Structure 1
Amino acid sequence: MEIKPISAKETWPLRHEVMWPNMPLDFIKLPEDSNGNHFGLFLSNELVSIVSLFETGNRIAQFRKFATKTELQGKGHGSKLLLYLMAFAKENDFHTLWCNARVNKTHFYKKFGMVETEETYVKQNIKFVILRKVL
């Protein structure tokens, strides 16, 4: 297993496959992709989990488009990548990390000390909630 920086373009196929397979590829691209830090977890040189990190304000960062190949979910790969991302954010002097999570996935983020907020929204008939963590 190896975690390393990757390009935004390298995240797009996995984002599409896992998050929004029924939407056009452009749906998963973010206008701010060129400004983010993107990371991938590789198993035997195969990219199996990805996440993107964006500064959103005064030492505050948001991670977005966090995805692990469906058949490899629940095996700890996403957990390792999220811990790596949290350490990277802290080492780079971010004091708060936040994300928009699908409501049915909040239990995963809470295991890492993230706290659910009152802020919710719906996208493509899927309910999301914002979670935060002070680093």
Structure 2
Amino acid sequence: MYVLYRTAPLRSTCSQLLPSSSDSGRYNIEGATSNIWCTVLNMNGSNDRGSLLEGFHIEPTTVEQTIALRHAVLWPHKPESHVRLPEDDSGYHFGAFVSSCDAPIAVISVFKEPLPPVIDSEQDEASISEAKPPFEAGRFRKFACDSVYQGHGVGTALLRHVFSAARDQLGCCVLWCDARLSTSNWYERRGMQIFGPVFTKSGVGYIRMKATL
């Protein structure tokens, strides 16, 4: 199944986020659920869900276009600079869009980054450094979905799209993330597995999760 999207920026604006242009192209959303696909095709506005996701599509975007949503969803009480990563300029950024708004309704960023070893208290530093996996790995970060669109399959479609992109375009065999503990069950239901201990960042509990691609 393929989603075709516009080759020029949309003209409408979204009151909560700043609009900007985006790249054009065509991508295969492998594994997207039948429910979300039916919603994408339901353009007649006959129900609230179909109307909400009218024109839904996924495409590459710029890091600048991810910042506002990252900030609003993930760290609203921190300065906006908190969600700008030093490695953003070398990352691959994707957004989910609807026809009624220039700004993305969900965003995710992918980086080529080795799978971190699981640190055992009995291991020494030398054994850990020698345990680097002999395959390409990627990491996704700053995965955020506008609260208005949560629960409609948008995040699932975007995550599965990134699984495919990391495998087919970046040559990754595994994709991992630092998941908030509050979302770990959501990731498990989508095929990801926990590895490593619980840790905290900025007072929030996290656990590392991975998926074999």
TM-score of the superposed pair, with normalisation by structure 2: 0.61
Unmatched segments (≥5 aa) in structure 1: none
The aligned counterpart of 1:52 is: 109
Task: Give the structure 2 partner of residue 90 of structure 1.
Answer: 167
Report the Cα distance in structure 2 between the residues aligned to 1:120 and 1:132, rounded to whole angstroms.
14
Q: Equivalent of 2:203, from 122, 125, 133?
A: 125
Deviations 1:25-58 (A, max 9, x none): 0000000000000000001153100000000135
The correspondence for 1:17, drawn from 68, 72, 75, is 72
Aligned amino acid, residue 143 of structure 2: F
Could you give the per-residue CA deviations for residues 71-114 of structure 1, whole angstroms, max 9, x where no partner exists?
21111100000010001111122001000000010111112211
Tell me whether 1:81 sits opposite 2:138 in the alignment: no
- What is the aligned partner in structure 1 of residue 92 from structure 2? 37
Letter in 1 for 2:111: F
Residues 95/45 of structure 1: CA separation in 2 closer, same or farther (3 Å cut): farther
Aligned partner of 1:76: which letter? G
Q: 1:45 to 1:84 in 2, by over 3 A?
A: farther
Which region of structure 1 is more displaced relative to structure 2, 65-74 or 12-21? Answer: 65-74
Unaligned runs of 5+ in 2: 1-55, 115-134
Task: Measure how far apart 1:124 and its partner are.
Answer: 2.0
| Counterparts of 1:124 and 1:94, CA distance in 2 | 29
Q: Distance in 1 between matches of 2:208 and 2:82?
A: 20
Measure the CA separation in 1 of the matches of 2:100 and 2:191.
Answer: 30
Identical columns (%): 33
- Equivalent of 2:149, from 69, 72, 77? 72
Aligned residues: 135
> Counterpart amino acid of 1:90?
R
Cα distance in 1, alignment partners of residues 179 and 210 from structure 2: 10
Larger Rg computed on CA atoms = 2
Normalised TM-score (structure 1): 0.96
Partner in structure 2 of residue 113 of structure 1: 191
Query: Whole-Å Cα distance in 2 between the matches of residues 11 and 119 of structure 1?
Result: 29
Displaced runs of 4 or more, over 6 A: none
Tell me how far apart the structure 2 counterparts of residues 108 and 55 of structure 1 sit (CA, whole Å).
23
Matched, 1:101 2:156: no
Cα RMSD between the aligned structures? 1.1
